């Protein structure tokens, strides 16, 4: 009998399943997100998704649009997956979704996020997708150690070189 390939699907975050996102975030991340975070997530549409592995919620991504110094950037507030489901394609599926939104929109200059400086697994994951460390924020996190975070960014704009004839 053939073994079924696991299905990884993305679904909308709604008022009916927002508590699943809250529980997932409490398990995956060392920081606590306030009620405003979850209220805002309900308003971002495609920028927030739950990841289902064979119909079980195992991951999520939550983003927002930021304007910084005249640039429009997509900020990944959270992207996480339960430990047992890591290296199964869940994070890739979530990040691919985010990158497709940015590409299809065509108006984003970059995608960026913060990663705790000790989180080697996340740093390696984002590096595979072309994210680079562009800054270190001292004391970024309030109640966890180490408190510093790297700012990782993937530029989406191709520099237009002028050709001289």
Two tokens at 77?
């507030």
Catalytic residue from among 85, 97, 108, 114: 114
Query: How far, CA to CA in Å, does 42 sit from each of 39, 71, 82, 123?
Result: 5, 25, 21, 28
Active site residue 150: no
Find where tokens 């400086």 sit.
117
Query: How far, CA to CA in Å, does 120 sit from each of 33, 71, 90, 123, 143?
Result: 22, 28, 18, 5, 19
Active site residue 141: no
| C-beta of residue 117 within 8 angstroms of C-beta of residue 149 | yes
- Phi and psi at residue 37, to the nearest 5°: -55, -50
Two tokens at 134?
């562009």
Catalytic residue from among 16, 38, 75, 140: 75
Catalytic center residues: 75, 114
């Amino acid at each position: 009998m053939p073994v079924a390939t696991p299905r990884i699907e993305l679904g909308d975050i709604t008022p009916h399943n927002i508590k699943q996102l809250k529980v997932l975030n409490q398990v995956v991340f060392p920081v606590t997100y306030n009620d405003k975070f979850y209220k805002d997530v309900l308003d971002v549409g495609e920028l927030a998704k739950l990841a289902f592995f064979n119909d079980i919620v195992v991951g999520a991504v939550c983003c927002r649009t930021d304007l910084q110094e005249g640039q429009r950037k997509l900020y990944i507030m959270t992207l996480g997956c339960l430990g047992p489901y890591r290296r199964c394609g869940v994070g890739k599926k979530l990040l691919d979704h985010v990158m497709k939104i940015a590409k299809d929109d065509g108006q984003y200059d970059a995608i960026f996020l913060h990663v705790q400086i000790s989180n080697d697994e996340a740093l390696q994951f984002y590096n595979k997708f072309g994210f680079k460390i562009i800054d270190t924020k001292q004391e970024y996190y309030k109640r966890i150690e180490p408190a510093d975070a790297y700012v990782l960014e993937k530029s989406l704009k191709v520099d237009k070189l002028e050709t001289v004839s």
